[in-house]
Amino acid sequence: MATISFIGAGSTVFAKNLMGDILSQPELADSTLRLHDIDEERLHTSEIVANKVAEALGVSPTIETSLSQDESIDGADHVITMFQVGGYEPATVIDFEIPKKFGLDQTIADTLGIGGIMRALRTIPVLNGLAANMEQRCADATLLQYVNPMAMNMMALQRTSSIQSVGLCHSVQGTAEQLAGDIGVPVDELAYRSAGINHMAFFLEFGQRTPDGIVDLYPRLREFSAKGDIPDRGHAERSDGGTVGLSDAVRYEMMDRLGYFVTESSEHFSEYVPWFIKEGREDLLVDFGIPIDEYPRRCEVQIGAWEHLRAQLIDPTASIDVIPSVEYGASIIHSIETGTPRVIYGNVANDGLIDNLPETACVEVPCLVDENGIQPTKIGKLPPQLAALMQTNINVQELTVEASLTGNKEHVYHAAMLDPHTSAELDLEQIWTMVDELFVAHGDMIPAMD
């Protein structure tokens, strides 16, 4: 019987999905689920959700809740992180509103850019504290890390902790499914290999299994792109009741330019590079369907969804639908507990996996998972244009992690000045002033730096 600790279980909707995935596995149905959060009200909601998920599946796990991290992880086999330091308010609001004063627009701001930098400075100390606590209370546990900015967080963990950890994202498998839909190929016939860094990994191979072998699907993707009928990925609901379209024009443009398709969404990718979001270039935003301030809109919708879910749960007769997610968490736990081999995509230390990226980088590569844990696979060299593009992001990641681990504030300025999007929009004096204002606004959410 596995003991699984959820750190940040007040992220109720995400926790619900993972709990549903875990308890749907017969071998994990009697697991102990320990839910931890610092928000008592949200924790109580997640406890109700956990019990209703178990009821819907007809299983009987042990469900425990605690406001104490120590209690939650003590003796755990697996620890899952899903928290957001500083929350939507005030932290995310600060990350968007202060840069906007300087003319720096963002879409998601949780991975790179000034928003990603500040989020990392808030988050790395908390994650490192958890890892240190795990070394004392559950040293053999596996840390399944879902918190962004993924690459920076994992880079810091890899440098400071002996805990077996893997960073998890759904961009690879999610994008593969989207592309299959674009060109009309059944998802279960796909055969692909992806590698790079989180949110900037590329499909090195993308094919279809047939009776005659694997057929390369890149020619079909290029034909699809050439038609110009680039798909919308749906619409995001705004807090005012309106919607904003999520076009995939950015990623198809990058495939045409670089030869490979990137695994994170267009709204994300547009702010990792200097070419799509530019002051005074509304035409680019329109042509490529780039939704400025998209993450705040999503946060407001998610907050509303949580309030709606909590209202539903007040009714003791209300049931919950359990729908399988595309997350890897449950599959990893199942493979480690049962020895069933699987391949997942994980964010791990480079350690010779990708030859033309720095050894110190955090890379996203295929990993075998079984009773021996998580075993990354070697990729070799990436196409040089892809490695060069990734290096522009790794520069920012390295400097931010260095700043956090050493307390050297100068490297925060350096990270911002080398960020592709920030440097394309602001001059050096603006960058320095903006960083100073962000530090003042964050207060003690970020440990003191010199």
Q: Give residue 239's pLDDT.
A: 44
Q: Give residue 312's pLDDT.
A: 77
Report the alpha-carbon angle 378-404-12, nearest 5: 75
Crossing angle between the packed helical segments 12-23 and 329-338, to the nearest 10 degrees: 30
pLDDT tens profile 216-263: 999 999 999 999 888 777 655 544 555 545 689 999 999 999 999 999
Q: What's the average model confidence in pLDDT over 58-74?
A: 98
Q: Give residue 349's pLDDT.
A: 98
Cis amide linkage into residue 366, ω under 30° from 0: no
- 410 has a pLDDT exceeding 90: yes
To which residue do tokens 């928000």 refer?
39
Q: What's the average model confidence in pLDDT over 72-96?
A: 97
Q: What's the average model confidence in pLDDT over 120-135?
A: 98
**How many other CB atoms are found less than 10 A from the CB of residue 256?**
13
**Widest pairwise Cα distance in the chain:** 62
For residue 122, give the nearest of 93, 84, 157 by alpha carbon.
84
For residue 168, give the nearest of 141, 195, 146, 152 by alpha carbon.
146
Reply yes or no on whether 199 is catalytic.
Answer: no
Polymer length of the chain: 450
pTM of the predicted model as reported, rounded to 2 decimal places: 0.95
- For 127, residues 6+ apart whose C-beta sits below 8 A from its C-beta are 81, 145, 147, 153, 156, 157
Q: Copy the structure tokens of residue 268.
A: 């994300």
Contact 308, 316 (CB under 8 A): no
For residue 374, give the nearest of 382, 384, 366, 385 by alpha carbon.
366
- 42 has a pLDDT exceeding 50: yes
Q: Which of 36, 78, 170, 199 is an active site residue?
A: 170
Lowest mean pLDDT among 50-59, 314-323, 412-421: 314-323
Contact 412, 450 (CB under 8 A): no
- For 44, residues 6+ apart whose C-beta sits below 8 A from its C-beta are 65
pLDDT tens profile 173-232: 999 999 999 999 999 999 999 999 999 999 999 999 999 999 999 999 999 999 988 877
pLDDT tens profile 336-386: 999 999 999 999 999 999 999 999 999 999 999 999 999 999 999 999 999
- For 334, residues 6+ apart whose C-beta sits below 8 A from its C-beta are 25, 27, 28, 340, 342
For residue 150, give the nearest of 195, 76, 200 by alpha carbon.
200
Task: Provide the residue ranges of all domains of the chain, joining segments of one domain with +.
Answer: 172-295
Q: What's the average model confidence in pLDDT over 261-284?
A: 96
